[in-house]
Chains A and B, each alone.
Chain A
């Protein structure tokens, strides 16, 4: 049973049909900070940031939570202030477009 669970059983072999990039298959880029299969600090930080972003969105609305998330991301990943400002502006414009074009319910949360 263990062998059946762990071995490939693909009828045409093991075919990774994911359309995402499997970076293990291409030349290793510079600066990979974790071995494949390990969770890096950056991945944990991003997961926590996304969790915080979604929680803040629930509380005060995504319209206000979005710039906070991007600024914190810029701080966590040591972007320059110009890069952070540009990303924050881009994300805020996207949120604004969702609000006015799609009438998205992002302007308020349970507290605001």
Chain B
């Protein structure tokens, strides 16, 4: 281990265990578990509404707090999946298949013990792996200069638009382009030129991407779920089983847990494929490996271990693109990127070069988060805390709306932001309904300013010549990747037609 890494690691441990960072870490994990366990909230809304609250904090404290919520919510979402057959988020959707049958068989505490242990151990294993690969990631990231960063932002938006297209590639690209377009409103980032302001001062600062995030995630989701009368919860009459037996089951299936966690990490590192994908793939992989296919879906603990360790493994993987290149792979990491930006921290080469201790602080804080998850999960959630899953949706809606609105106005004191959350709430609802990718829109908005700034700087460096974007091997590879990602769906479609 090189001296710079050792120094950064020691500093990172100091950051995590200093006050108030450690208190925020504990608060983040606990609130993440609660938010994840309440169907209809989850990590995205939880992180979105708490993002403005982090303004008074330092960048490290804010990021530690938000990643703790993210990690806690990944575990918390399994509580409702196991007990009431409704996942807090789709990242725990596969946990329903074997978790809920265990509850109906009187083994709810076994399932909750498995969920806490598999989440924590899976998360910790992958975080240690992330720590080990960080020097390699650092050496790659430091090769990137301004033109490369511009190409990476475009590649990120296009990858999200194409890979994660919920409806179609064209819709995905349109959503990403819309995100980029709305961020051009206001004063240009490199020249003091007002654009699309209609001569009103209110638009001079442009749209707040935090207001856009809160609109498309929090407000849109509240409008969507207000329809559900009586909430999604059904009564949980009695919890049977043993938490310790669940822990023993997980530990005795250590290889399965590690395998699933790394599947989650690998999938999480791909832009566009988060916990919602990884838990199903790990689960399906385990069914294929298993000899007794029929037992899966009927309360097989191995199925639950596979799903639970993979979704927490996803957290480590999803940090790789966001820390390395500022490309979030999921809504939660998009919000995390928002936190980086509002605290003046640029993810990417600068972060690894100047603030390696912050990267390690995030890794260390997530390892500590996993310890807290296992303690909280076994001591509090399994015996008592399951009640949070029974909270009715109708009580959540006004509180989330109020929190989102208060957070928005606190951030910039700009009345335009109030209009933004409402308009983007409706836009988000319509986009979801018509299969337009919301994450592509968000990524376009979050990366819009960085993309434009790096484009302008690159063109200044090259005296206006676009050849700077193909002037070295790395730039050529990135440009080829952009074209490849765009062309791939067309080639895929043509090959399917030829086969048909």
Contacts and interface: CB of A to CB of B under 8 A. Distances in A.
Interface of A: 4-12, 14-23, 25-27, 29-34, 37, 40, 42-43, 46-47, 50-51, 53-54, 57-58, 62, 66, 69-70, 73-74, 77, 79, 83, 87, 90-91, 94-95, 98, 102, 104-106
B contact patch SS: helix
Given A21-B40, A104-B406, A105-B413, 5 more contacts: A17-B276, A18-B331, A40-B227, A50-B219, A62-B406
Given A16-B166, A21-B87, A43-B223, A9 B401 contact: no
Nearest to A40: B227
Contacts of A19: 42-44, 89-91, 274-276, 330-332
A10 B227 contact: no
A92 B107 CA distance: 41
B269 interface: no
A69 B398 CA distance: 8
B401 A50 contact: yes
Given A4-B169, A17-B277, A43-B227, A29 B232 contact: yes
B88 interface: yes
A-B pairs, top 8 by smallest CB distance, nearest first, are A9-B169, A31-B229, A9-B489, A104-B410, A54-B418, A29-B232, A105-B413, A91-B402
9 contacts: A9-B169, A9-B489, A10-B162, A15-B277, A20-B221, A29-B232, A53-B401, A53-B405, A98-B410
Contact of B422 (A5, A51, A79): A51
Contacts of B413: 105
B398 A87 contact: yes
A104 B42 CA distance: 26
Interface stretch (B145-153, B177-185, B349-357, B432-440): B432-440
Contacts of B272: 15, 17
A21 B402 contact: no
A9 B167 CA distance: 7
- Max chain A Cβ within 10 angstroms of own Cβ: one of B221, B405, B413, B425: B405
B435 to A, nearest CB: 9
Interface residues of B, number: 83
A74 to B, nearest CB: 8
A20 to B, nearest CB: 5
Interface in B278-304: none
Nearest to B277: A15
Given A19-B276, A94-B406, A83 B439 contact: no
Contacts of A15: 163-164, 166, 272-273, 276-277
B87 A58 contact: no
Contacts of A79: 394
A51 to B, nearest CB: 6
A70 B402 contact: yes
Given A9-B165, A47-B426, A98-B406, A17 B229 contact: no
A46 to B, nearest CB: 5
A9 B406 contact: no
B242 interface: no
A86 B488 CA distance: 54
Nearest to B417: A54
Interface in B412-457: 413, 415, 418-419, 421-422, 425-426, 429, 432-433, 438-439
A15 B361 CA distance: 32
Contact of A34 (B96, B170, B227, B485): B227
